Structures are given as structure tokens and as C-alpha cells.
Structure 1
Amino acid sequence: MWIGFTLLAAFMQAWRNAFQSRLSGEVNVAGVTLARFLWASPIAAAYLTALYLWSDPGLPAITPPFIGFVVGAALMQILATGLMVRLFQMKNFAVGAGLAKSEALLAAILGLLFFGTTLSPLGWLGIGIGAIAVFLLSSKGGLRQLSLPTVALGLCCGGAFALTSLWIREASLSLTLPFPHRAAWVLLLVISLQTLLLLLYLCWRDRPTLHALWQRPKLTGLISLSSCLGSIGWFSAMSLQNVPMVKTLGQVEVFFTLLIAAYWLRQKVKLQDVLGLILIAIAAIIVMWS
């Protein structure tokens, strides 16, 4: 089941990134970040309501550790999204975005050090192959594309996304509910907090950005919809499986991204892309086998 949720998440995230990349040429970082959450809360609330109409296990018991995990995940995902949008605006975006995909490897390391995550040698092999594949796909211009600011920004982005995922999993596991319900509660609370914080900040410091989003309802709505559907997939998968495993399989997002680039943006797929996709497929098979 976690494999299906992960594939859904990867597919929707590929579209969300494409929509965000387009919006980033017209709206600043804070605005593009808010677009991810703006209309996602009602969708998350509708999803949670549908789950309770299907089966009502009762309300969750809110504890201080749960609140801490939710707040930490919400703040860290805002930071990670802002860093990713900043990467969209850099000339060597491909390398930076690839480095941001170091999330799986960083999640494995952080999970091992601080969250008690355990992986088999086969799992570590799959994660390593996936990291190599993503770098191969992102470094199309060779090592000359690398710059210290891009490397630093990309790794910080990957680390922030890794911490977000680890805290989301901890928040979900701390609830005594069936997995779809606990994942949906975490999703709703995290997204609602993010939306509230960003709206308050922009109302205080940057109201023209809110006006700019209001003038782009279709693109903003598409970002929120794809983001929320992707989050449903991520949150559900991470309630069932270790974060490094989920994020390594989730690197099939690169495959979906290349399909979008080829058929929607009419860009050619090169041999290096094919080799990278083969490695990602091998990594995904190894992770599922382990």
C-alpha cells in the first residue's frame, strides 16, 4: 500500500514543481510558497471528512510531543519550499534541484542518528544508487555547473525536506488511530498552520504578493491541488514505511518530470536521462525488495 501512495505522491509532486516553476517567474518566493498551501486546507479537510464518513475511530488524543512534531514539520516545510523556489530562480537550477533530492540519503542519515531508523544493507544500497541517479540526471552540464552557493542551497533544501518528513512520520505514529486517519489529521493540521503563518506574514509585510496570487487563480489552484494530493500520498506512505525507503522510491518523480518535459514542454530526452532513469528503476526495485 505504501508503494501506491508513494507513486501518487511522486506523480503529483512532479506536476506541482512544474506549476511552481512557472509561477516563480511572476511571483516572489513567499507568494509561490503560499500557493502550495493556500487552497490545500479545504481539500485536506474534505479528505479527512470523507474518511470519517467511511469509518469513525474517534478523535485523536493531542499530546505535547505531537504538537511539537506538527509545528516543527510545518515550519521546516515552509523553509524547504522557500529554498526550492529560490533554486527555481537560479541559472543552474538543474544541479540545485538534483541536490535537493539528496533528501532520501539525508533522511536515512538523520533517521539513523536521531530517530532510531534502521535499514538493511540492501536498503542503503538502493538509497545510494538513487542518489547517484538523481545527480546524473541533474548535472547535464558536468561538474562545471557546480557552484558553492548552489551546492549549499541544494543540500540545505534536501536536509529541510528530510527533517520535515521525519517529523511528519513521528507525528503520525504518535496518534492512536488507523493509518489513513492519523495521516489525514497530521496533513490538515500541518497545512492549516502553514497557511495561517504565511497569510499573516504577507498581510503584514507584502500585501501586493497576495494581490498577485489573486490575479492568477488557475495556476495558484493547480499548485494547491497537486500539492495537497501529493501530500496525501507522502503522509500516508510515511505512516506505513520508513522515510528513507519512501523517499528513495519517490525518486521516480524524476521519471514523471521527464515525461512532463517531453510531452508538455516539448523537450528532448537525452541518453544521460535514460541512464539516470534506469538507475532510479534499479534503486526503486532494490528498495521494494529490501
Structure 2
Amino acid sequence: MAYLWILTTLVASVAQTARNAMQRSLTETLGTVGASQVRFLYGFPFALLFLLAVSQIGGEAAPAATGRYLAWVLGGAVTQILATVLMLATMRERSFAVTTAYIKTEPVQVAIFGLLFLGDHLTLGGALAIVVATAGVVMMAVKPGSPGLTAAGLRPAVLGIVAGAFFALSAIGFRGAILTLESGSFVLRATTTLAWSLGMQTALLVVWLGLFDRPALMKSFGAWRPSLMAGFAGAFASQFWFLGFSLTSAANVRTLALVEVLLAQAVSKRLFGQETTAREIIGMTLIVGGVVLLLWTHGT
């Protein structure tokens, strides 16, 4: 059980890599908010199915939601929406790789927010692991001869870093909600929180698009086939993120999640025959070193 969070995080990372690819392809047809909305609208039914299955298998009813619990969930839900919108907006201005460098400052930020809001303390080794792995991501994203992180101006840099901050806050909100629940197994508490969060996010975005961008809302209903797959992938990934948050600090989960960068690199090499440069090898080595240090610190 002490190391189960490692497995859940790895599964979530693979599912999220697939979800991001699907969601990004929808941005051109649905717009930034419309593409953000499909992961919630089409993910919510799957979250309810997950909750029903967990309740039936475990023989437990979903724990009651208190006002404090709902406040944590709402905080996580709203900041995740904002983070997703800002991430897709950044992708429209900069490359996927550079956007990743901005977003993946998240582990550093989630460690700070976790300490401030939840009292999740990090060891010196854990803090060093976060810094080393994050440095590896930045090194892989910024290549010699290509525009630097700030070459396109301050706007995409600010958007990306703020997106990372909102992703960090959403992780803290969801972990805070899970810890607030007083009954149920860690699986039931995580799945209950997933259902509540996706329900809130669906309601908020349907109302927003209905008031301010009805064409995008109608297009999301029309594009239900690709959106359904993106929704399932999103709900599946979130299920395993939440399981990780129920087992260990959000900083541990989000640092290990940097393996997504290695997965993306492997996919690029496999599908597109892209060569791996010496700089990318150094970056990957730093990521792996940071992750190994994190796991070693966690086990000592």
C-alpha cells in the first residue's frame, strides 16, 4: 500500500498523455473553452459509472458531502478549468514542447501550496528531487537554435506559468477534499471526489458556454464521437490521479508525473522517427534522476 501511489500515478500519466492529444485536436474546431469543456461534459457520466462500480464492489455508500468538503472540491474544480483553458491558450501561441516547460513548473508550485494549505511537508531530498526533475523538463523543451522560453514575449510565459499554478492549486483542492471525507476506503473517497468535481465542472462550463459561446456548446454536442473518447480518457486519468492524491502528497504525485515528458519523447521517436539530441538525453537523465531520488526519499 505504501507504494501503490506509484502505480496509480504511472497509469494516470499514460491516460493523460492520450487525453491531451485528443483534446488538443478538438481546439481548432471547438475553441479553447469548448475543447476544455468536453473533458468534463463527456467525462462526468464515466465518473458516475466509476462511483457506482466502486460502491457496488466495496458494499459502501458514497460518504456524505459537508460544506467544507464541497468548498475544497469547488476550489479544485474551478482552478482546473482555468488551468486547462490557459494551457490550451498557451499551446496556440507556442509549441507543445515549450508549453510543457511552462506547465511542468507545477511540481515546484504544488509543493509550496501543499505546505501552505495542507501542511504536507517535504524532506530536503524530496525538494531536491522536484527541482532536478523540473530542470530536466526545461532542458528538453528549450533546444539550441530554437526560440527561447521568452522569445515570443511575456504573454505566453505568464499564461503557461499561471496555468501551472492553477494545476497545482487544483491538485491541492482535490487532495484537501479527499482528506476531508471521514468515511469510506481511499478508493471510494477518491471516486466520490471525482464525481463531484466533474459534476461541478460540467455545470459551470455548460452555463458559461450557454451564456457566452453557444455555438461552441452546440459544436461540442455535434462532435460527440471524438469528445466521448477524450471524456473517457480524462475521467480515467483523473480517477488514478485522485487515487494517488488519496495515498500521498500532491507534490509526490505531480513530480512522478513528469514521466509524461519521457512518454511523449518515446511516442515522437516511435511515430515520427525523430532523433534524440544530446541535450534531450541530459534532460531525460535529470528527469529520471529526480524521479529516482523522489522514490528513494519516499522509501527511506
Both proteins in one fold, TM over 0.5 = yes
Q: Structure 1 residues 59, 91: CA separation in 2 closer, same or farther (over 3 Å shift)? A: closer
1:144 to 148, 152, 159: 148
Asked if structure 2 preserves the Cα contact closer than 8 Å seen for 1:40 and 1:228, the reply is: yes
Q: Structure 1 residues 96, 248: CA separation in 2 closer, same or farther (over 3 Å shift)? A: same
Q: Structure 1 residues 22, 116: CA separation in 2 closer, same or farther (over 3 Å shift)? A: same
In the alignment, structure 1 residue 204 sits paired with structure 2 residue 239: no
Letter in 1 for 2:279: Q
Letter in 1 for 2:155: P
| Matching residue of 2:166 | 160
| Matching residue of 2:75 | 72
User: What aligned pairs does 1:85-104 form with structure 2 within 5 A after superposition?
Assistant: 85-104=88-107
Q: Structure 1 residues 71, 143: CA separation in 2 closer, same or farther (over 3 Å shift)? A: same
Asked if structure 1 preserves the Cα contact closer than 8 Å seen for 2:75 and 2:173, the reply is: yes
Question: Alpha-carbon deviation of 1:143?
Answer: 6.5
In the alignment, structure 1 residue 116 sits paired with structure 2 residue 137: no
In the alignment, structure 1 residue 12 sits paired with structure 2 residue 15: yes
| Matching residue of 2:50 | 47
Letter in 2 for 1:263: R
Unaligned runs of 5+ in 2: none
| Matching residue of 1:248 | 255
Quote the Cα distance in structure 2 between the aligned partners of 1:188 and 1:51.
Answer: 12
Letter in 1 for 2:287: I
| Matching residue of 1:133 | 136
Question: Percent identity between the aligned chains?
Answer: 31
TM-score (norm 1): 0.94
Letter in 1 for 2:15: M
Asked if structure 1 preserves the Cα contact closer than 8 Å seen for 2:102 and 2:160, the reply is: yes
Quote the Cα distance in structure 1 between the aligned partners of 2:279 and 2:15.
Answer: 24
Q: Structure 1 residues 265, 40: CA separation in 2 closer, same or farther (over 3 Å shift)? A: farther
Letter in 2 for 1:65: R
Size of the aligned set, in residue pairs, is 290
TM-score (norm 2): 0.91
Quote the Cα distance in structure 2 between the aligned partners of 1:215 and 1:261.
Answer: 30
Quote the Cα distance in structure 2 between the aligned partners of 1:219 and 1:30.
Answer: 16
Letter in 2 for 1:220: S
1:83 alignment partner, SS class: helix
Asked if structure 1 preserves the Cα contact closer than 8 Å seen for 2:55 and 2:62, the reply is: no
| Matching residue of 2:241 | 234
